[in-house]
Structure 1
Amino acid sequence: MTLRDVAAVVGVSVPTVSKVLNGSGRVSPETRARIIEAAERLDFRPNALAQFFALGRSFSVGVLAQKASGTFSMPVITGIVHELSAHDVATLVYDDENDPSLRAENVRKLKARKVDGVLIVGDGTDSPVPSISHMLSAPQVHVFGVTDNPKDVTFLPNDAMAGRLAGEHLIAQGRTRIAHVTADPGFRTVRERHCGLTQALSDAGLPLALGAPLYGTWHRSWGYEAGLRIRDRIDEIDAVFCGNDFIAQGLGRALTAAGVRIPEDVALVGYDNWSFFGGGEDRYLTTVDPGHVELGRGAARHLLDSVGSTVDGGVTLHDCRLIPGFSSGALPATELDFPFF
């Protein structure tokens, strides 16, 4: 089916059909509705090459990934692809593979493709991602990585919100001696999550248990080591917000081995919703989900809205959500099929 076929059914000119289907042109609401209905009924599909020449748009978007195979960057890219597909926009993915020397060549390839815009995907919210605004004139949105140009548009998970949600949840569960075990404070994410937690505690008139966070790494082994430290001060805590789910797993194992009951004696909350990456939620560990897929979709929607317009730079923080589980007392043990720690 062609534009001429749609025009013949509706009884209007080909240019009128073209303008309506491209979102422009001044026609009555009734005529516009008839054209859209006829195009859908005839299953009309515009010729992409013809649109490119007529509108100067390729209806394609480039994804420039710092590391496309990264555990957390993959769901971000998935969200991007889903959103662009919903708007019938093609996605071209180029991967730097964590090799900065590949960036310039990948940008040149995207320029040659005449993409309508570029989404630059980092390998984590603490990953520095050099700006390419001086290399490419098409609209750009950074996501899941921090650009070195404050004028760039950047989408990041709201880490302060994550800490606040964890603190508010534990307080709502009746916990008043809440500790924090996390990674190196040199990470922005660590500082932001701690800030959110302490704000929730302050609002409730509570101090941070143990006097200060326990800082280490993102690994289970650090969580286990932290659990060994905490067991000698167990009377000072009744809950722990962990920097990620791995830390929570290691911490839980150490405390359980020492005879500490979870969640009766100590409630745990993690971060990442790691069970999502296993294909489902096991609901043992209460965790904060940063929403990587939704983050990618939001960045893609913003980029599509930016095509053909001027957009101010800055950081947009994407809301996260708390996933209740057994480890904080939010779900009964009867809903679990197997022990976690």
Structure 2
Amino acid sequence: MTDSESPTAPLARPRRATLADVARLAGVSKGTASRALNGRGEMSGETRERVVAAAAELSFTPSAAAKNLAHGRTGTVGILTNDLEGRFVIPILMGAEDALGAGRISVILTDARGDGVREQQQLRTLLERQIDGLIVVGGPRTDPRPSLGSSLPVPVVYAYAPSQDPSDLSLVVDNAQAGHIAAEHLWELGRRRIGFIGGDPTFSASREREAGAAASLAEHGGVLLGAGLRVGDWTERWGRVATARLLEQHPDLDAVIAASDQLARAALDVFRDTGRTVPGDVAVVGHDNWSAVVTNTRPELTSVDGRLETLGRTAAGRIFDALAGRDPGQGVELGPVELVIRGSTVPAH
């Protein structure tokens, strides 16, 4: 038995067909073969069909890099953020990367760490890498941020924190709707003495969630309780102080909406310490649906989810639209929010 006949001899890998092979079989130049397969250039229908048939016979599949180069692209999208470690930013990045990866697009991720000079440097670096598009992910604040300008050579989508320029496309969480559905849920449960605990008032998210909750109750003839308790910060210490004051002002309180899950967790602590059952005596709703908090409270916390991964996937989809020649849109677009009901408002059965 020769070496080539040995059962242990490695099998030779079949060589992948190249564009040159297709051109040779079809009897045309490589340039003609490329134009035929990409649907570009003037040629007879018979020539184009011959090239396509040759490609099929050879099982020729152009690489992603070759396709991108044929369209003048690099197959990369930049993601520029200012809060890479932030718990709000990470799910957006995951959603965007999932969508881009499914489209065989590579991602270059940069973190400006809240430094405007660093952001401009990183923007220049991304453009030098000839990215095809850019997603700017804000955080931790949802307040409008300065635009990168309208002269960039690639499509840009802002996510989470909107651009101050209305001609830019910005995808953001609908925080007013988040507050609205939280209050609506409590009203439907028969709660009528509903208070609100706000976070840092300089954050638009806290103000918008409060406004949404107040508007919902006003539609039913109700009033959001807690005047003077909506100025604080995002710490659980403030949440405990605010809840205690709320109970002093309104001892018959039967529900609380907190501007964040951490504030809501603090409220649960105070109700437990004062002998009030949740949700029997008082129902509690938080915001952000932060898994580290909502599933570790007792009872588990009802919360409004901003669907940040969906926001990231949508941002990537708008980049695809722009690259395909479709209008990605402009202005501020509000993303969907979702109430996740748990034991802090509806008793588990």
Alignment of 1:67-86 (within 5 A): 67-86=83-102
Going from structure 1 to structure 2, the CA distance change for 1:130 and 1:320 (only over 3 Å counts) comes to: same
Shift of the 265–107 alpha-carbon distance from structure 1 to 2, 3 Å rule, reads same
Distance in 2 (alpha carbons) for counterparts of 1:278 and 1:87: 34
- Distance across 2 between alignment mates of 1:38 and 1:202: 66
Q: Which residue of 2 aligns with 1:113?
A: 129
Change (3 A) 1:55 1:205: same
Q: Find the partner of 1:188 among 173, 195, 204.
A: 204
Which residue in 2 is equivalent to 1:14?
Answer: 33
Larger Rg: 2
Aligned length: 320
Q: 1:65 aligned to 81, 99, 103, which one? A: 81
- The 3 A distance-change label for structure 1 pair 10 and 280 is farther
Q: Which residue of 2 aligns with 1:339?
A: none
Instruction: Give the conservation status (yes or no) of the 8 Å contact 1:240–1:267.
Output: yes
1:159 maps to 175
In structure 2, relative to structure 1, the CA distance for the partners of 1:46 and 1:171 (3 Å cut) is same
Secondary structure of the equivalent of 1:126? Answer: coil
* 1:161, distance to aligned residue in structure 2 (A): 1.0
For the residue of structure 1 that corresponds to 2:266, the secondary structure is helix
1:95-130 deviation digits (Å, cap 9, x = unpaired): 112222211211111111111110011113434532
Does the alignment pair 1:318 with 2:335? yes
Equivalent pair of 1:119/1:143 in contact (CA under 8 Å): yes
- Match of residue 12 from structure 2: none
Is 2:319 the counterpart of 1:303?
Answer: yes
User: Quick one: which amino acid aligns to residue 139 of structure 1?
Assistant: P
Secondary structure of the residue aligned to 1:261 is: coil
Query: How much has 1:226 moved relative to structure 2?
Result: 1.4
TM-score, scaled relative to structure 1: 0.83
Contiguous gaps of at least 5 residues in structure 1: 335-341
Aligned to 2:157: 141
Say which SS state the counterpart of residue 344 (structure 2) adopts: helix
Q: Deviations over 1:277-325 (max 9, x none)?
A: 5797877100001011111111111121112455542001100100101
Pairing 1:14-33 to 2, within 5 Å after superposition = 14-15=33-34, 18-19=37-38
CA distance in 1, matches of 2:331, 2:121: 26
Query: Counterparts of 1:1-341 in structure 2 under 5 Å?
Result: 1=16, 2-3=18-19, 14-15=33-34, 18-19=37-38, 42=59, 44-48=61-65, 50-134=66-150, 136-210=152-226, 214-275=230-291, 277=292, 284-307=300-323, 308-309=325-326, 311-329=328-346, 331-332=347-348
Percent of pairs identical after alignment? 31
Q: Distance in 1 between matches of 2:84 and 2:125?
A: 17
Amino acid at match of 2:37: S
In the alignment, the residues of structure 1 paired with residue 334 and residue 142 of structure 2 have an alpha-carbon distance, to the nearest angstrom, of 14
- TM-score computed with the length of structure 2 as normaliser: 0.81
Point out where structure 2 has 5 or more consecutive residues left out of the alignment: 1-15
8 Å contact 2:294–2:300 — kept in the other structure?
no
Conserved in 2, the CA contact under 8 Å of 1:291 and 1:321? yes
One-letter code aligned to 1:46: S
- Offset at residue 236 of structure 1 (A): 3.3
CA RMSD of aligned residues (A): 3.3
CA separation of 1:91/1:172 partners in 2, compared to 1, >3 Å: closer, same or farther?
same
Range 182-191 or range 239-248, more displaced: 182-191
- Partner Cα distance (2:167, 2:308) in 1: 23
Which range moved further: 310-319 or 77-86? 310-319
